[in-house]
Amino acid sequence: MADLRRRWVRRVFTLAILVGAGSVPLAGQQADCGGRASLLITVLDESGSIVLPGATVILRWTDAGRMPVREATDADGRLRVCVPRDASQAVVWAEFGDHSSGQAAPEAMASGEEREVRLRILSSVPSGRLIGRLIDKETGRPVATAAVGVVGRPTEAASDRQGLFRLTGVPAGQHELRVRRLGYAPLSHRVDVTSGLTTELEIGLVREPVELEPLVVSTTRSRRLEIKGFYERKDWGELLGLGSFYTAEDIERRNPLRISHMVQDVPGIRMGLENARTGCPLRVILDNIIVDADVIDDLVLPIEIAGVEVYKGAASLPAEFGGADSRCGVVVVWTK
């Protein structure tokens, strides 16, 4: 354990700035949130005695349609986030390597107020995450304010207005997941949690009196795509209509000869990976490296791809893919 802590302290990090989320670095500077509330998040080891620079903090606004914040802590193991004016509730947790913290849900704050959140990485017990969406099985609509928990664990998560819930720091192994919501039949379902990975669930609840069996679909997320923030961008991008997203399973079903053929199927994209409205070429990024659009098919085969993101204009771009060269749109390709 001591060796692990020393490696944490020595770890080199990069602090990225997500402009759209309103986060700002600390580094001895005073945060200017323009009178808005702010969260000061500190990530520590399990003992609470060592701060963890470079830990990834994930913060999801539960009462506003905004992309989640995904940022690294600074040299003091801290990250300050300005609360958007249209948001007041959030769920926040931290990840470090294959380990996670528990999640916190700070209470709503007044303008100008700063609240500190301390997250401890649970490293002594291998843990994973459960992330899912609750829908009404009959109508397909999201089910909000349902209580979701794991038997034997003290904390529960509440589904938000999109029906999304997250449980972090869940010990690896088989657990019984329970879902309760007034007006719906209670659900119990066995789930397998893998250390360092996220198990994704889609749960169809049935209204009382019970006439149908609840439906649960379970998949395990790609660790590489999760680290790169692909799933957060996919969840919110599809919800808000900001882009088109393909996983390895989508590519296998489509079975394109070249990946550019699949990208060209996106409305508004034409041959040569050009924006059909403006005629200018899309920027292509392969594993965080900018490449020419006309050579992407020579660099990677569809079978080698884990995920693809397609954004058709600057207005829909996440901050990490922005820039003057991205005004016509961006294609982001992640290999396995």
State the number of CA atoms in the 13 A half-sphere of 310 facing the CB: 22
Based on the domain organization, do 89 and 148 belong to the same domain? Answer: no
Three-class SS of residue 164? strand
In a shared domain, residues 15 and 116? yes
Is 20 or 266 the better-scoring residue by pLDDT? 266
The enclosing domain of 274 has a CATH number of 2.170.130.10
Alpha-carbon gap, residue 100 to 57, rounded angstroms: 10
Residue finishing a domain among 120, 153, 181 = 120
Asked whether residue 200 carries a pLDDT value surpassing 60, the answer given is yes
Give the Cβ contact number of residue 221 at 10 Å. Answer: 18
pLDDT at residue 11 in the model: 37
* C-alpha distances in Å from residue 134, one per residue of 122, 142, 204, 236, 245: 27, 6, 6, 16, 21
Looking at per-residue pLDDT, the higher value among 217 and 305 belongs to 305
**330-335/283-286 β-pairing:** parallel
Kindly state whether residues 138 and 212 are assigned to the same domain.
yes
The closest alpha carbon to 44, from 116, 134, 122, 112, belongs to 122
- Backbone torsions φ then ψ of 166, nearest 5 degrees: -145, 135
CB 148 within 8 A of CB 214: no
Task: Supply the range of the domain harboring residue 200.
Answer: 127-221
For residues 246 and 208, membership in a common domain is answered with: no
* pTM, two decimal places: 0.55
Secondary structure of residue 257 in the 3-state scheme: coil
- Tens-place pLDDT, residues 232-242: 888 888 877 88
Cα(204)–Cα(138) distance, integer angstroms: 8
Per-residue pLDDT reduced to its tens digit, 177-186:
999 998 899 9
Domain edge (last residue) among 190, 221, 252: 221
Question: Of 30-39, 128-137, 142-151, 176-185, which range is least confident?
Answer: 30-39
Nearest alpha carbon to residue 130 among 191, 55, 51: 191
Q: Mean pLDDT, to the nearest integer, of 302-315?
A: 91
pLDDT for 180 equals: 93
242 beta partners: none
| Phi then psi dihedrals of residue 202, to 5 deg | -125, 120
Rounded Cα gap, residues 104 and 125, in angstroms: 19
10-35: average pLDDT: 41
| 43 and 98 within one domain | yes
Mean pLDDT score, 13-33: 38
pLDDT at residue 210, as a whole number: 59
Q: What pLDDT was estimated at residue 27?
A: 34
Note whether 31 and 131 are same-domain residues.
Answer: no
- The domain that holds 137 is classified in CATH as 2.60.40.1120
Residue 192 contacts by C-beta under 8 Å, 6 or more apart in sequence? 173, 174, 199, 218
Mean pLDDT, the chain, whole residue set: 83
Hey, how many other C-beta atoms are within 10 angstroms of the C-beta on 74? 19
Say if residues 310 and 263 touch (Cβ distance below 8 Å): yes
Number of domains in the chain: 3
Q: Pick the more confident residue, 169 or 42.
A: 42
Q: Cα–chain-centroid distance for residue 17?
A: 16
